[in-house]
Chain A
Amino acid sequence: METLAQLRDRLLARFPAAEVTVVTNPSPSAQHALRVDAHHAREIAGFLRDDPALQLDQCTNVTGIDWPEKEVVDAVRTTVPDPAGGTPRVVEEKIKRLEPGRLEVVYHLYSIALRHGPVVLRLVTGNRTDAVTLPSLTPVWRSCEFQEREVFDLFGVAFEGHPDLRRILMWDGFQDHPMRRDYREPDDYEWEPTPHGDVLAKAKRHYPAPAPSAP
């Protein structure tokens, strides 16, 4: 199979308006990925499935990944010339920046016909709150149907064009998305006759302290 860089160039030639980048995987598995912009994702997925040199006919695995907002420290080195004419000094400055939070959906594609793979596709949402819509790839690979429902259920990614987007593992009335990193379980304290340890702390949170009685 061609390399991912060649595949990216071929995709960009075919879809000039698309944004396709190669994401390097530093681990020894060397399963590098293609990040595709949401707008062209379904067209690109259809191309990957139908292209005779690729024939990625099976989308094996669909995963969501939550990346909450994170503070990243970049070390920037600047060379400061010495006004007295000596050797310039190298000053290392640590700049903090806030990496915005996002949700990522990862698709692992294999070809049964040509026996190669995986080609890893990654789609990224705008943020974790209101721009969480991504195109559904279920029209391209039917195997995404339940797996995208699972990502919707557990991560809260809304898949546009999915034929039946409902919760799948949690029940219908459930509110939150439990696989997000900042998920906190609800206050489901049940009465205990002799609470102690963690359970006592939970009981204290559950039953607010009684108001002090008037003297």
Chain B
Amino acid sequence: MPLRDEILKWTEGGHLKPGEASRAFAIAGVTPKLADWRRFVEALLLWTGSILVAAGVIFFFAYNWKSLPRLEKFGLGETLFAVAVIAAWRLGIERAAGKAALLGAALLTGALLALLGQTYQTGADTFELFGYWALLILPWVIVARFAALWLLWIGLLNLTVAAYFRAMTWGLFGVFFGTSGLLWALFALNVAALAGWEFGMWRGLTWLNRWGARVIGSLLGCYATSIALICLVDPHEIGTGAILAYLAWLGVMYVYYRWRVFDVFMLAGTLLSAIVVTTVFLGKQLLGHGDSAPGMLLIGLVIIAMSGAGAWWIREMLREQSMGATQ
């Protein structure tokens, strides 16, 4: 239990006067010190400032200001882009300010590509914009050793795939690879991304962090759950093999995040997915055949039982884990 929570337990239990909590926090070192505040304020100003400026530039180009001539628009965009790249180069990508500048340059790359398409009406599809954007910033992503930039890149790949399938939902391609094809592609992409991220962490790439894996894991969970739900509702749409893929995903998530890297976030998310899929399965079996009331009551109680048991199970795992750590 974090020390702060421990102190609060003591105050609530009457072992420590509530008025002394602040002093106890200071003794425990859980109150930020001046140097911590300094680092925090610097980071807050740097990251919020950089993101707001980049967002402002993107909004500006999206406005498509008619009275601003084409040359000025490109001049402005390219100047800002050059400033960001030069700042990243001069500050160095090992420093936070250099990383922020590089992230800004990566975002501005997309803004410039959009401006190019908007000005010259290139006829390019949206997936091409995202695809080229991802391709162009790939060298920076590789050399920067910066988790946020990798997440941006993986996000762009997701958008590319989604836009590609949306653009191709006509003709024979649409018939064979419609919604199910999109979900399978996104599922496969994010399996690869999560596996790569975990592999990197396993190989000791300290600049990758667990929260990045959780972001990708959340996306993957949404796609895996969608595949299972479509399979349950309309097996012809996606094929009955989808449920096997889903079960395999459940198994891998449990084994990896229980035994290899203990991660409560991933386990709780996987459990929630299993509850949702079970609910839909039971709904399909029990509802819509005459009187629905008993089925609804049963499903409600099953959800309560599953989530209650799941919470107890995760807490038991947590207890085992903490006992193992202290031995």
Q: Are both chains from one complex?
A: no
